[in-house]
Structure 1
């Protein structure tokens, strides 16, 4: 299996890990694999080794920073992405709890939003300028006042939405790193895997001894009432408070989206659907979310209700 050989190659030496992280981080559209390498090394070899690989993986963006005098590519790729994944890998390696890891990811997202507001200032104006520049680069001459009028409401939440997407990607990259890590613990299995093995491979929980515990964590965890209270406070502050809380609110929603996905996957497991059907469900879900983003709200509402009613237990009954 190519993924397993790749994992073995990365873990075999520090040089190999650094080389792979450097190559992928330097290649456009493949940076996520470089970050997954950082996560794999951290999960497998510990904090220090992961940090060494993280430092080397930042080299392409340091060069880009020096050449372009632009901090944003470095901050997004390294500060908001690679460093966050490294920290989340430390949390998961220590506690082996996805619920806690995802909640920590939201906390880190809130800190990122606060830092951006601290150093940038008027973010609505900043986003407006970015949109105008993009329009000019595309040779589309649209009046700035028209853009401000059209995107007025969205601009208030734009930073929070973008940070939420970055943090969501961070968790996905951690899952990929854990997938690579689990392959190193996997014994040989038949080419045709069972549904449980398919689920394990999909979500990177193939450690045979720890699989049941980790898989159950993913498909059975629910958010605590404390998380719901924090979300409600965030909603009130986003409506009545300073502008920064409008950007914090989307980040607070991310754990609930993950909880909704966890609930859905638990139902798919319970119904013992075939591998093909499970794959099709996720393909259709991605397409629907692209064209009907309001479905995100459905997942969030269901996750909140699940915290009170425990739909999994009711399904088993």
Structure 2
């Protein structure tokens, strides 16, 4: 990873070439966005914008052919790097990812893009065969969701949010590896949303859930910054306690199982992050430890 980061930072041509190579693989378009974020964080918004514009050329062709996701991922990489570089605030940087993801999905929903219709048809075809042994009522509800543009665009927004956050985290990790070893870990351990942003995201997500049905998946996009803050809190706790990394591996296994089967761990992390935003749990725990 360090060798790749060093190659990217040798110059503009190297950064553009590496990002375009990642983009054309499609599956690793988020790596291209991470490269854009790294350049923006390390060399400023102007250089980051130049690299982003060049890298966007093949993504524009992809968007013209019906797949706008790579283009949006590059935009998210630049916006995240710009926001984090200018403000040094993960709250603002993560908010930028929410705005890009929901804005992208809302645009697709508004213009009724053929991409959404094609994706719905593809998902219905893929899932229909796997639901032959499922209860008819459940099968009907699943297929109903997959035929709802609101749900499909919400799933796209969630996917974009995941890739956007991943690219931003990777870009900042690379930057710290090159210029500030250990800096990313310290930042991640202290990741805490401002009370105002935490309250705003919570209210918006509750309003979204209240709409019912297909809108529920949009709430997950809004909750993503709080989820990441909750994960950062867990990393901080393991570090403070001096526990081995095996505890983190167990934690991520539980998180994955939760995502697949009921979101219980996700809900606990979000609640913990929300409490941390208002109560500053790290400071209180540290103060209690000193008094003991």
Q: Same fold (TM over 0.5)?
A: yes
1:104 maps to 96
- The partner residue of 2:164 within 167, 170, 190 is 170
1:296 corresponds to 2:266: yes
* TM-score after normalising by structure 2: 0.79
Q: Against the structure 1 CA distance between its residues 256 and 146, is the aligned structure 2 distance closer, same or farther, given a 3 Å change threshold?
A: closer
1:176 Cα offset (Å): 1.0
Q: Against the structure 1 CA distance between its residues 153 and 298, is the aligned structure 2 distance closer, same or farther, given a 3 Å change threshold?
A: farther
Q: Against the structure 1 CA distance between its residues 246 and 123, is the aligned structure 2 distance closer, same or farther, given a 3 Å change threshold?
A: farther
1:112 Cα offset (Å): 2.4
Q: Against the structure 1 CA distance between its residues 123 and 54, is the aligned structure 2 distance closer, same or farther, given a 3 Å change threshold?
A: closer
Q: CA RMSD for the aligned pairs? A: 3.6
Q: Against the structure 1 CA distance between its residues 17 and 221, is the aligned structure 2 distance closer, same or farther, given a 3 Å change threshold?
A: closer
1:280 corresponds to 2:210: no
SS of aligned partner of 1:12? coil
2 CA distance for matches of 1:249 and 1:64?
A: 28
Q: Against the structure 1 CA distance between its residues 141 and 58, is the aligned structure 2 distance closer, same or farther, given a 3 Å change threshold?
A: farther
2:241 maps to 271
1:57 maps to 55
Per-residue Cα deviation, 1:165-199 (whole angstroms, up to 9, x for no partner): 3212211211111222222225xxxxxxxxxx7xx
2 CA distance for matches of 1:252 and 1:170?
A: 13
2:85 maps to 93
Per-residue Cα deviation, 1:261-284 (whole angstroms, up to 9, x for no partner): 12111111110123x425524542
Q: Against the structure 1 CA distance between its residues 25 and 306, is the aligned structure 2 distance closer, same or farther, given a 3 Å change threshold?
A: same
2:2 maps to 4
1 CA distance for matches of 2:20 and 2:117?
A: 35
Partners of 2:37 and 2:77 within 8 A in 1: yes
Q: Against the structure 1 CA distance between its residues 92 and 308, is the aligned structure 2 distance closer, same or farther, given a 3 Å change threshold?
A: closer
Instruction: List aligned pairs for 1:56-205, cutoff 5 A.
Output: 56-65=54-63, 69-70=65-66, 73=67, 75-79=68-72, 81-120=73-112, 128-134=120-126, 147-152=139-144, 157-186=151-180, 200=182, 205=183
SS of aligned partner of 2:192? coil
Partners of 2:106 and 2:153 within 8 A in 1: no
1 CA distance for matches of 2:202 and 2:220?
A: 12
1:115 Cα offset (Å): 1.5
Partners of 2:23 and 2:32 within 8 A in 1: yes
Count of residue correspondences? 282
1:83 Cα offset (Å): 0.5
2 CA distance for matches of 1:247 and 1:140?
A: 21
1:94 Cα offset (Å): 0.9
Q: Against the structure 1 CA distance between its residues 77 and 98, is the aligned structure 2 distance closer, same or farther, given a 3 Å change threshold?
A: same
Worse-matched range after superposition: 243-252 or 165-174: 243-252
* TM-score after normalising by structure 1: 0.74
Q: Which runs of 5+ in 1 are unaligned?
A: 187-196, 207-213
1:255 maps to 225
2 CA distance for matches of 1:140 and 1:150?
A: 9
SS of aligned partner of 1:77? helix
2:17 maps to 19
Q: Against the structure 1 CA distance between its residues 288 and 269, is the aligned structure 2 distance closer, same or farther, given a 3 Å change threshold?
A: same
Q: Against the structure 1 CA distance between its residues 147 and 122, is the aligned structure 2 distance closer, same or farther, given a 3 Å change threshold?
A: farther
Partners of 1:135 and 1:141 within 8 A in 2: no
1:312 Cα offset (Å): 1.9
Instruction: List aligned pairs for 1:204-215, cutoff 5 A.
Output: 205=183, 215=186
1:260 Cα offset (Å): 0.9
Q: Against the structure 1 CA distance between its residues 98 and 139, is the aligned structure 2 distance closer, same or farther, given a 3 Å change threshold?
A: closer
